[in-house]
Structure 1
Amino acid sequence: MTEILFYHLLNQPLEKVLPTLVERSYERGWKVAIEATSQERVEALDSLLWTFAEESFLPHGTDREPDAGTQPILVTSRADLATDAAVRFLVDGASLPDNAGSYQRVVLMFDGNDPDAVDRARNDWRQAKAGGHACTYWQQGDTGRWEKKA
């Protein structure tokens, strides 16, 4: 059964939170895919992963590269890429994949200050629960720490 985690961003932007979560997944030996909704966002996340911390290195590539499927961390705007990843991060409104059950974990991150993003996340929650997935909901507290709410 796939574990689907919903991360409700309130006090920090995606750019502050995503690299650390990706780093933890990579350290577990998991192949990671990050799906955004535009090529511009893919490029911005690509730059972010190279520069987010001097003491960290996250080997990654994007869907522009011919060897995209072999990357340990892939940043893409294509739902059909990196289907062999263990973890798939969905950002900026990327949809819950039809093949969600093929991942160990799907992490859906949404901006709690955007009513449309909250509505999409609620719909994805219902869809994931109806699909029999184990769902957990995490919300940022005032200090930026994650608090499990459901």
Structure 2
Amino acid sequence: MGSAYFYHLTDSPLEATLPMLIGKARGAGWRVLVRGPDPALLKRLDDILWQGPEDGFTPHGMAGGPHDADQPVLLGDAVPADGFACIMSVGGAEVSPDEVTAADRVCILFDGHDGAALQHARGQWKALTEAGCSAQYWAQEGGRWMKKAEK
């Protein structure tokens, strides 16, 4: 049974945090789904992943291509979570309790400077924990990640 990890982004933007988390997930051998409802955001993240770190790039693809099933990291919106060990929710994308239970890890990343995003994440926390999912809440303090809550 997986857990939902909530990442309250205040010091580092999504564009820096997502590649770091994908690298950790891939290091664990997990196939990753990055789910987001905004095509423009997904395209921007796709471009960032293609640029990659100085020592390489993150192999990935955008959903809807001929090789979706072969992608170690897939970015999309209405993509079923089957076959992914890790789901990363960006831009307020929904994740169901069943998906949390089936995955090894679900990461919900949200902008801590955006009141609407913060409220949405609080709603997701409540819905998932009330459904019996384990969850952790992580926030940035002085450039470091600190676990603030666990349920």
Q: What's the offset of the Cα at 1:148?
A: 0.5
Instruction: Report how many residues are paired.
Output: 148
Q: State the SS of the aligned residue for 2:8.
A: strand
**Corresponding letter in the other structure for 2:120:** R
> Is this contact kept in 1: 2:125–2:135, CA < 8 A?
yes
> Is this contact kept in 2: 1:74–1:82, CA < 8 A?
no
Structure 1 residue runs of 4 or more that deviate by more than 3 Å after TM superposition: none
What are the equivalent positions in structure 2 for 1:86-97 lying under 5 Å apart?
A: 86-97=85-96
For 2:133, the equivalent position in structure 1 comes to 133
Give the unaligned 5+ runs of structure 1: none
CA separation in 1, counterparts of 2:38 and 2:137? 25
Residue identity over aligned pairs, in percent, reads: 35
> Is this contact kept in 2: 1:89–1:109, CA < 8 A?
yes
For 1:37, the equivalent position in structure 2 comes to 37
CA separation in 2, counterparts of 1:76 and 1:19? 16
Q: State the SS of the aligned residue for 1:8.
A: strand
CA separation in 2, counterparts of 1:58 and 1:83? 21
CA separation in 1, counterparts of 2:14 and 2:54? 19
CA separation in 1, counterparts of 2:35 and 2:44? 12
**Corresponding letter in the other structure for 1:99:** D
Give the unaligned 5+ runs of structure 2: none
CA separation in 1, counterparts of 2:125 and 2:44? 27
Per the normalisation by structure 1, the TM-score is 0.92
CA separation in 2, counterparts of 1:72 and 1:120? 28
- Indicate whether 1:17 and 2:48 are aligned: no
Q: Encode CA deviations 1:16-55: one digit per residue, 9 max, x unaligned.
A: 1110110110011100010111222221111111113120
Q: What's the offset of the Cα at 1:83?
A: 2.1
For 1:6, the equivalent position in structure 2 comes to 6
**Corresponding letter in the other structure for 2:69:** G
For 1:112, the equivalent position in structure 2 comes to 112
